[in-house]
């Protein structure tokens, strides 16, 4: 079942350590199939050196295992909540990448300070609040997903224009239309967090990117009149 999607999710998971985004098993990638209504995610705590595409777990959006012999990632309920609320999101990545996690542990949003940020994220990447004691005790992973969704709603943000979030004290989640895109967004987020840290070290008064430059760089890649790259034939 969903063999091609399993292979894509497997390969995307392998890319996380290759890109320096995780150590050991500190991360996961999933992808959603709109036709079946199921999603595929890596199994929990399985070593990347021994993991195979057949180990990927297929679930429905109520977290019921449809296919797979291994326990799915502990973050599965978080992924399910995001897919339920945002049908345009087709893949999700969670890591504890160092630079993004530094910003998450500081409880800081990631402002758009340069065009590297603007090419991918159309504005500030938000840092969500800590979960409450009740949210932790009732359904920690599910409520993490709810917190992500509510953060975007409360701040009136478009999750497709800003495909990333930080969780205070935890780490980043990113997403996209494909596993490759979701992983790329994690890589970009890690880089801009590193760049912003050093920029603020050099100049604590460094200003965010002017809106006009943010517009040009984001829209030339993602707007209706985008002209970056080659035309698709």
pLDDT score for 229 = 65
What is the C-alpha to C-alpha distance for residues 221 and 179, in angstroms, rounded to an integer? 19
Per-residue model confidence as pLDDT tens digits over 79-114: 999 999 999 999 999 999 999 999 999 999 999 999
- 228: annotated active-site residue: yes
- 38: annotated active-site residue: no
Per-residue model confidence as pLDDT tens digits over 155-209: 999 999 999 999 999 999 999 999 999 999 999 999 999 999 999 999 999 999 9
Q: Which of 24, 60, 198, 228 is catalytic?
A: 228
pLDDT score for 198 = 97
The H or E element containing residue 167 is strand 164-167
The CATH architecture of the domain made up of 3-222 is 3-Layer(aba) Sandwich (3.40)
CB atoms within 10 A of CB 130: 13
What is the C-alpha to C-alpha distance for residues 74 and 32, in angstroms, rounded to an integer? 17
Q: Does residue 233 have a pLDDT over 60?
A: no
Please tell me the pTM assigned to this model: 0.94
**Residues contacting residue 9 through CB under 8 Å, at least 6 positions apart:** 29, 30, 31, 40, 41, 42, 53, 56, 91, 179
Q: Which of 55, 109, 119, 180 is catalytic?
A: 119
* Domain regions of the chain by residue span: 3-222
What is the C-alpha to C-alpha distance for residues 105 and 183, in angstroms, rounded to an integer? 21
- 8 A C-beta contact, residue 100 and residue 109: no
């Amino acid at each position: 079942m969903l063999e091609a999607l399993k292979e894509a999710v497997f390969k995307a998971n392998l890319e996380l350590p290759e890109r320096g985004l995780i150590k050991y098993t500190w991360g996961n990638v999933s992808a959603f199939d709109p036709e079946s209504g199921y999603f595929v995610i890596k199994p929990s705590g399985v070593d990347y050196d021994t993991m195979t595409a057949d180990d990927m777990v297929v679930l429905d959006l109520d977290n019921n295992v449809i296919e797979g012999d291994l326990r799915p990632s502990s973050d599965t309920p978080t992924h399910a909540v995001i897919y339920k609320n945002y049908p345009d999101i087709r893949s999700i990545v969670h890591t504890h990448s160092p630079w993004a996690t530094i910003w998450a542990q500081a409880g800081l949003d990631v402002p758009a300070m340069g065009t590297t940020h603007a090419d991918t994220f159309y504005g500030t990447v938000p840092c969500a609040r800590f979960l409450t004691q009740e949210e932790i005790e009732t359904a920690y992973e599910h409520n993490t997903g709810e917190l992500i969704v509510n953060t975007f709603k409360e701040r009136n943000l478009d999750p497709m224009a800003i495909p990333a979030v930080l969780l205070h004290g935890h780490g980043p989640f990113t997403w996209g239309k494909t596993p490759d895109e979701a992983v790329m967004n994690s890589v970009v987020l890690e880089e801009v967090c590193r760049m912003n840290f050093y920029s603020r070290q050099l100049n604590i008064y460094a200003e965010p990117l002017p809106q006009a430059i943010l517009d040009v760089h984001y829209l030339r890649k993602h707007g209706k009149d985008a002209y970056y790259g080659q035309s698709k034939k």
